[in-house]
Amino acid sequence: MIDFEFEPQVVNQTRMYHSVAEQMMRPISREYDEREHEHPWDFWRAMWAASRNLGPAADSGKADKSADGAPKLRNLYTCLSTEELCWGDAGLFLSIPNPGLGGAAVAAAGTPAQKARFLKRFAEGEPKWGAMAITEPGCGSDSAAVTTTATRDGDHWVINGTKIFCTAGQMAAEKSEGFVVVWATVDRSAGRAGIKPFVVEHNTPGMTVVRVENKLGIRASDTAMIVFDNCRVPADHLLGSAEVKPTGGFKDVMATFDATRPIVAAMAIGVGRAALDFVRDYLTEQKIPVRYGVSPRRLTAVERDFMEMETHLKAARLLTWRAAWMLDMGMRNNLEASMAKAKAGRAVTLITQKAVEMLGPVGYSRKILVEKWMRDAKINDIFEGTQQINLMIVARRILDYSSKELN
């Protein structure tokens, strides 16, 4: 028998995160959507203790064991807390000081010593951010085509290139002992195998935030363009080995995404659930019933739409839980992570658009947050691999085709 029940302590913790979302995030959600480039420092300081438990799990690809030998479900529990906090506000969630995508890259590609060194700082002290820089002006979804270079010069690497759409890039590059993990090629002739990740500490000379984007949604979170101009980092800031192997390089990029895509899917589920809950409450207030167990032919259009929204959300959640659980078990979850990300991104887009439609003019107005959730939703169908890229990955894994055979 399949059992989806969680331990009482996990349920209690999830309720605590929901209370945070309801009491701390919802009240300032509209404010920081409108004040996009202002920083909610009071909220950040209040959330700092919780933020240290919200990043991706430590070691992608290896099962994390508890004292009694049972696997720790850190990734799965992170998905639970992420859903609750994004029910409150996805932009504020992304802005919370935490290791972020940079920490996920360290976890996926770094040596044990590097993980201890670079991630330890998030366990204590002032709020800190981690960011990842991979997308370039001429390199979007095809992450293997990066042109940023890293050249060895004695005991340092010299990085040159431009990165765009770096989530939390401004805070990680300029504030409180943060860092940016930048992906650069050490050998262009090696193609994907030559791509390596480098940790660039905040305020490193040669790393400059040149622009912070104005965005459609998740406006409380900064999204930065960062230029690396002869940016020198110590040799030991290259994560993992400097050796170029046919099976290396881009594999570390994908390992990072395998850990973060379930988190992004959980974000989408949180936003979608916020919209669904609002519509449910609205229908109840208007005394419009949703009749379960009735023949589909007898349902109203509203009932059919609402049930379809619920179905999409629940399917996305189960796919997400499976992908996160597999990572916790030390199993390869490349296929499942892409399935969860693709489904959740599509589901939240459909759910929030339908919510605006069902609510009519009030759903489109700024009187309530539904229109904001629709704007916040779309990014989940884009970052961490677009819908099309994730569906292509799913097809390749199911059909066992290489990228050259199916592109």
**Which residues have a Cβ under 8 Å from the Cβ of 386 and sit 6 or more positions away?**
141
Distance between CA atoms of 347 and 89, rounded to whole angstroms?
Answer: 18
Alpha-carbon torsion 224, 227, 231, 234, what sign?
Answer: positive
Tally the C-alpha atoms within 13 A of residue 21's C-alpha that lie toward its C-beta.
Answer: 25
> How far does Cα 278 stand from its chain's mean position?
24
Single-letter amino acid, residue 2: I
- The one catalytic residue in 136, 336, 371, 384 is 384
Instruction: Spell out the long-range contacts of 15-18 with Cβ–Cβ below 8 A and sequence spacing 24 or more.
Output: 17/50, 17/80, 17/81, 17/84, 17/85, 18/84, 18/87
Catalytic annotation present for 384: yes
Q: What are 163's strand-pairing partners? A: 226
Instruction: Locate 296 and state its tokens.
Output: 């589909």
Alpha-carbon torsion 299, 349, 380, 279, what sign?
Answer: negative
Q: Nearest 5°: phi and psi at 344?
A: -65, -40
* Active site positions, annotated: 384
